[in-house]
Structure 1
Amino acid sequence: MEKPKPMLTMSQVMNKLAQKGIVKEFSMNNKGEVCLTDFEKNYQPSDLKILKSFRFEGDSNPADEAVLYVAEDKEGNKGMIIDSYGAESNYPGDRFDKFLRDIPVNESDEYNFQE
């Protein structure tokens, strides 16, 4: 019976993404607008698609739970969306969570990383 491969940490995944040129982040500003690092454009959920999601859980602290999404806009710009989940979300209220739920998902095997 084959032993399961260990999960990668968030920093290991981020390093692998950086090797693929994905270093920017989609984030929500204090006006509630989602934008990509160094870009002036604001995005709607329909402007993006999620290519992969990675969930991370802390061994001993539930506050260490996070999810990292690899997302792409319609022009082919790729970036990460990082959010804590559960009670410790990075963004107050449910606006960001609703934005995430409305992004179409098109999972890509390109981001199935191994250690």
Structure 2
Amino acid sequence: MANLKYKYATVLEAIQNLRNEGYEVDFNLEENCLTCSGNSYTVNDFEIEQVYRYEGDTNPSDEATVYGIASKDGLKGILVTAYGAYADNASSAILRKLALKNH
């Protein structure tokens, strides 16, 4: 289950605080996995530990979500998604995992 212990004012503040908590690498979203430093992580290879969601005051397209992620091989990192940015490229399994942790 995602840990929503803090609410930060901005995406940058959330990222900085996650870095302070040891989330050191940057994950990228690919079609069927997350990637980082040449490694690929399928849905079963990582857990979402923290989630922070941001919505623009006047424009829904300003939405962003910051995820604190831990891989099973010990990496802790951050994934930032923007409104709709991952919907066209990611598999349904990845989208389900991100959506479940986003609520």
TM over 0.5: yes
Give how far 1:28 is off. 2.6
- Using the size of structure 2 for normalisation, the TM-score is 0.73
Structure 2: 5+ residue stretches without partners = 1-6
Amino acid at match of 1:60: T
Q: 8 Å contact 1:46–1:102 — kept in the other structure?
A: no
- Cα deviation, 1:24-82, whole Å, max 9, x if unaligned, reads 221134x755211xx22111010000001111011112111111111100122111111
For 2:79, the equivalent position in structure 1 comes to 81
What value does the CA root-mean-square deviation take over the aligned residues? 2.8
- Using the size of structure 1 for normalisation, the TM-score is 0.66
Q: Which of structures 1 and 2 has the bigger CA Rg?
A: 1
Q: 8 Å contact 2:23–2:78 — kept in the other structure?
A: yes
**Given the alignment, which residue of 41, 46, 53 partners 2:44?**
46
Q: 3-state DSSP class of the match of 2:25?
A: coil
Q: 3-state DSSP class of the match of 1:102?
A: helix
Q: 3-state DSSP class of the match of 2:88?
A: coil
Higher strand share: 2
For 1:65, the equivalent position in structure 2 comes to 63
Q: Hey, what's the Cα distance between the residues in 2 that align with 1:61 and 1:97?
A: 26
Give how far 1:100 is off. 3.8
Count of paired positions: 95
Give me the identity figure in percent: 27
Answer with 89-98 or 8-17: which moved more: 89-98
Structure 1: 5+ residue stretches without partners = 1-5, 107-115
Give how far 1:91 is off. 2.9
Q: Hey, what's the Cα distance between the residues in 1 that align with 2:69 and 2:91?
A: 15
Q: 8 Å contact 1:28–1:96 — kept in the other structure?
A: no
Q: 3-state DSSP class of the match of 1:18?
A: helix
